[in-house]
Structure 1
Amino acid sequence: MLGHVESDISIASRYLSNQKGVDLQFLDGGRMNAYGLGGSLMLDYEDYKPEREYDAELRYTNIAMNTFDTSAAVKGSADSQSLGLWARTRIPTPLTVLERPLRAVFEVAHTEFLGNLRGALGFNSLSSVGTGFEIDRSASDPIFSRVRVVFRYQFGQNIRGTSIGLAASF
């Protein structure tokens, strides 16, 4: 992993410093460069049949990150670890789109944050449930063989949210 972030919000930084006594040195011309080394170990289960498809993954990730050539306010290191479980099923519906069945999509996921990630954003875990549809475009010789739209609800300790995901397969 290699990353670079810069900020220059000098007016807001001066206001917060003068009015609230908050030192936000990073906001005024700050920058952060970071690198990380690590990886993931994943167990994957797939069961694809014409009448339905099941996918499930269990993944452990560990990436040790460090900053370099960085503003003093954000120098540091972190051990980024997580353990996640994700599952999706796709079931053909009676509806036909582009000469193929429209598929209903259902997803669930849960991630436990470990190491320095635990509590860093105000929560220790994040879960989601989602539903949507998938269009199989393979009959029309397209660039994308499948297009999927999934609406998700994410939740955890002190956090709630929604999202819309769009995915395409070659």
Structure 2
Amino acid sequence: MADTQGAQQAPQVKMNILTQFIRDLSFENILAQKGVQGEVQPDVQVQVNLDAKKRNADHQFEVTIKLQVESKAKGSDARLFLLELDYAGVFHIEGVPDDQMHPFLLIECPRMLFPFVRRIVSDVTRDGGFPPLNLENIDFVQLYRNELLRRQQEQGNGQANA
């Protein structure tokens, strides 16, 4: 009987990716536009933002990875390229408790989308005239924790200023 009670307490999580798509993509090859000559050592900065929202259909959520990749020449502020990508996935999710849905949407869903984002960034930088940029894995758990900490600090500062 203990097994039956355990099964009732922990519903099975079901997650399907219904679709995924590029919402917005921009790539500027500033190096080619300015005609910079000689050997250039790139310094790449990557910023990641996540967004999740409930859709009108039952159990459907849209999760977006917003990526900005900027490459500058080492030792100067001269930009080489700027890539901006909003990549979204629509997920059907069942069996996740309400109190765990927010971290699930901002950790597990982006993990599923990331390999596709990595491939797009690699292809676009290569097609844009640069060596393919292969993004390092993103620790979505740490990204989520950092965002929670940032929000707590904002709330703390808001209360201290009131």
TM-score tier, shorter chain, comes to 0.3 to 0.5
**TM-score normalised by the chain length of structure 2:** 0.32
Greater RCO structure (CA 8 Å; 6+ sep): 2
Q: Which has the larger radius of gyration?
A: 1
Structure with more of its chain in strand, by fraction: 1
